[in-house]
Amino acid sequence: MDDWLIALIKVVFIWVWVLLIAVIMTWVERRGASMIQDRLGPNRAGPFGLLQPLADGIKLFTKEDIVPDKAKKILFSLGPILFALPAFSAYAVVPFGDKIVLGGKEIILQVSDINVGFLYVVALGSMAVYGIIVGGWASNNKYSILGGLRSTAQLISYEVPLGLALLAITLIYGTFSLREIALAQQGTFLGVFPNWGIFKQPLGFILFIVTAYAEANRVPFDLPEAESEIVSGYHTEYGSMRLGLYLFGEYVNLCTLSALIVTFYFGAWHLPYINMAAFLGPISYGIASFLVFFLKVSFFLWLFVWVRWTVPRFRYDQVMGLGWKALIPLALINLFITALAIQLTI
Amino acid sequence: MAKPVVEKKYTLGERIYLLEILKGMVLTWKHFVFNFMASFRSGPHTVPTTWQYPEDRREISPIFRGEHMQTLDDQGREKCIGCGMCAKICPAQCISIVKAKVPEDQQELYAGKTYSSSFNIDLLRCIFCGFCEEVCPTNAIVLGQGYELAEYRREGCQRDKARLIENFRLARESGKLKPQRKPVIVAEPKAKPAPEGGAQKDPGVQKVEQAKPKKAAAAKETT
Ligand code: SF4
Ligand code: SF4
């Protein structure tokens, strides 16, 4: 097989897989929310309501696509695409498994192992804000623009602690490549703990997960679409499949962020204390590593849902205060301690 | 008096949020697990706070005011005498009636001397107040238990007499008829006036007669 064919298959595969997860997530979110709130949730379409996302999709497709009169037409249609695209693209560097041997050829389970994968992820993370601000601006609606502005302020201030938390990770592993970071998390650390990022960077993990919630615009940081304050923020004027793309992009974003959390802090595809490669065949090892990875990812996806229905929304100034007055100093301290520890141990 | 503002001092643990959020998550997790287990139990009414409507209907009161029906008496005769009182009292004006004399050859179909040759209720306008039932002198119109009245077309919400009688038949078969809510005044030919009834009636009539001149006098005084 040619290399480009393998790459194409990997791209298509991970694309479809992430889409599938996002689709299932819409169902998980609604059922999970209802269970937490003592309701039942959508349970009519298919077994356990599993076909509900399909029904939603059909509904969104058949709805009238309204573009407001005074909206900037081109930007208006560009907004959702700008939002969804970076979310998908970030998956290009996520190692979703170790490697699989097919027909004597070793295939790395990652679309591309670029050596600055880390920077690529951070860069794409800040791209997502364009989708929101462009959509909010083009809608010609004050609530939309407010949502867009909030999102900009929030993303910019949370991008800093996110980057600083990740910087500490690169200090420890000494590489920008996500695959190498994942590989380095095998084995144990200090004899007891699994060699995972969370045990080396507990503060960094907390910082990262908090900023991840802010980056994904999820409760408690869902200010850009705060329903009780600004209707539904940047996508107030959107309907039909454009809205669908926004909602979908959000879930793809969640999936990407969960994958990053797992890659950086939860040992990617490694199981604690067990070396799967030692006793599994080359093909089954590839599949097992893939499954372990997505098992961990699904836990964090569920955590997003769980937190969403537990914590109320922060006030705008509280979000900003938390970002600038707590997270950034903590991230700097974390970076300093990490650097010091590395300097002392080497 | 305004409520005094209580300045709550937060402990460090509370100000870090994370611990408090974890506490909240434990609470929501308990709810989740409870409902999750409940949703696997068999039977329609699994989650205690929710009625799963089409499978799981709640008991409705026997005097529920739902879809109307036109009652028949023991001999299968229509009770309605077409007096039009229900149409008159209906606040939504949704009943329309045409009154007619019972033809000689159809005496066995109707209980009274007159009947409603057409009787129509527009359920789109009806507010289910039950006034029509209350005012009807022969207990002919009764509000039943049916509440699933959604239709695809407006015309489907009209109820003509045949449909109303059909409603009654169905209710009688399923044993969901409520007891008659008032004694029926049987329209007997007035042969002999009942002595007690007459005694009760007379003072009332007199009172009315007395009241009239007084009112007139009062009116005169004010002018
Ligand atoms: S229930 Fe009320 S509104 Fe409905 S028909 Fe009877 S009197 Fe009219
Ligand atoms: S239903 Fe009752 S109130 Fe209405 S016309 Fe018939 S007898 Fe009179």
Q: What pLDDT is recorded for position B190? A: 55
Same domain, yes or no: B150 and B81: yes
Same domain, yes or no: B79 and B136: yes
Q: Locate the ligand 1 atom nearest the alpha carbon of residue B135 and give its number.
A: 7
CB of B111 sitting under 6 A from ligand 2: no
Q: Is residue A121 very low, low, confident or very high in pLDDT (cuts 50, 70, 90)? A: confident
Where does residue A114 fall: left (phi above 0), alpha (psi -120 to 50 degrees), or beta otherwise? beta
Name the residue range of residue B15's domain: 11-58
Closest Cα in chain B to A307: B25
**Sign of the dihedral defined by the CA atoms of residues A279, A283, A289, A294, in that order:** negative
Same domain, yes or no: B90 and B123: yes
- Average pLDDT of A297-308? 88
Q: Which residues of B touch A39 (CB under 8 A)?
A: 35, 47, 49-50
**Which secondary-structure segment (H or E) carries B188?**
none
Evaluate whether ipTM surpasses 0.85.
no
- Average pLDDT of B203-218? 44
Say how many Å lie between the first and final Cα of chain A, rounded.
Answer: 44
Q: Locate the ligand 2 atom nearest the alpha carbon of residue B83 and give its number.
A: 8
Better pLDDT: A5 or B196? A5
Q: How many domains does chain B have?
A: 2
Q: Is residue B213 very low, low, confident or very high in pLDDT (cuts 50, 70, 90)? A: very low
Contact A307 B39 (CB under 8 A): no
Mean pLDDT over each residue of chain A, to the nearest integer: 82
The CATH number that applies at residue B125 is 3.30.70.3270
- Largest CA-CA distance found in chain A, in angstroms, rounded: 65
Same domain, yes or no: B72 and B147: yes
- Average pLDDT of A150-156? 84
> Domains of chain A: which residue ranges?
70-345
Report the share of chain A in percent with pLDDT over 90: 1
Contact A38 B36 (CB under 8 A): no
Query: Residue B210 pLDDT > 70, yes or no?
Result: no
Among the listed residues A197, A111, A128, A120, the one whose alpha carbon sits nearest the alpha carbon of residue A163: A120
| Angstroms from A309 CA to nearest CA on chain B | 8
Contact A39 B47 (CB under 8 A): yes
Q: Is residue B96 very low, low, confident or very high in pLDDT (cuts 50, 70, 90)? A: very high
Among the listed ranges A93-102, A174-183, A199-208, which one has the minimum average pLDDT value? A93-102
Interval B29-84: pLDDT, tens: 988 888 888 777 776 667 777 777 777 777 888 888 888 999 888 888 888 888 88
Number of Cβ atoms within 10 Å of the Cβ of B16: 13
Closest Cα in chain B to A33: B32
Whether B32 contacts A32, CB under 8 Å: yes
Among the listed residues A305, A324, A121, A296, the one whose alpha carbon sits nearest the alpha carbon of residue A222: A305
Chain B residue set in contact with A, beta carbons under 8 Å: 18, 21, 24-25, 27-29, 31-32, 35-36, 39, 47, 49-50, 52
Q: Which residues of A touch B35 (CB under 8 A)?
A: 34-36, 38-40
Q: Which residues of B touch A36 (CB under 8 A)?
A: 28, 31-32, 35
Ligand 1 midpoint to CA B122 (Å): 9
Ligand 1 midpoint to CA B143 (Å): 9
Atom 4, ligand 1: residue with shortest CA distance: B126
Q: What pLDDT is recorded for position A105? A: 73
Query: Residue B157 pLDDT > 50, yes or no?
Result: yes
- Cα angle A252, A329, A340 (rounded to 5 degrees) comes to 100
Mutate to test the interface with B, among A36, A205, A306 (most CBs of B within 10 A): A36
Same domain, yes or no: B84 and B169: yes
Q: Is residue A237 very low, low, confident or very high in pLDDT (cuts 50, 70, 90)? A: confident
Query: Residue B220 pLDDT > 60, yes or no?
Result: no
Closest partner residue to B25 (CB to CB) among A35, A43, A306 is: A306
CB of B112 sitting under 6 A from ligand 2: no
Interval B102-133: pLDDT, tens: 888 888 888 888 888 889 999 999 999 989 98
CB of B136 sitting under 6 A from ligand 2: yes
Domain assignment of residue B86, yes or no: yes
Same domain, yes or no: B49 and B75: no
DSSP B94-162: -EEEEEEEPPGGGGGGBSSSEEEEEEEEETTT-----HHHHH-TT--EEE-S------SSGGGGEE-HH
Same domain, yes or no: B39 and B78: no
Same domain, yes or no: B27 and B77: no
Q: What pLDDT is recorded for position B188? A: 56
Contact A206 B39 (CB under 8 A): no
Same domain, yes or no: B30 and B50: yes
Query: Residue B4 pLDDT > 90, yes or no?
Result: no
Q: Locate the ligand 2 atom nearest the alpha carbon of residue B84 and give its number.
A: 5
Q: At what angle do helices A142-173 and A240-265 cross, to 10 degrees?
A: 20
Contact A38 B31 (CB under 8 A): yes
- Average pLDDT of B172-181? 78
Better pLDDT: A215 or B48? A215
- Average pLDDT of B123-149? 89
Same domain, yes or no: B43 and B84: no
Residue A119: CA atoms inside 13 Å, Cβ hemisphere, count? 5
pTM for the structure as a whole: 0.72
Q: What pLDDT is recorded for position A95? A: 82
Closest partner residue to A310 (CB to CB) among B28, B35, B36 is: B28
CB of B90 sitting under 6 A from ligand 2: no
Same domain, yes or no: B89 and B121: yes
Q: Which residues of B touch A311 (CB under 8 A)?
A: 21, 24
Q: Is residue A1 very low, low, confident or very high in pLDDT (cuts 50, 70, 90)? A: low
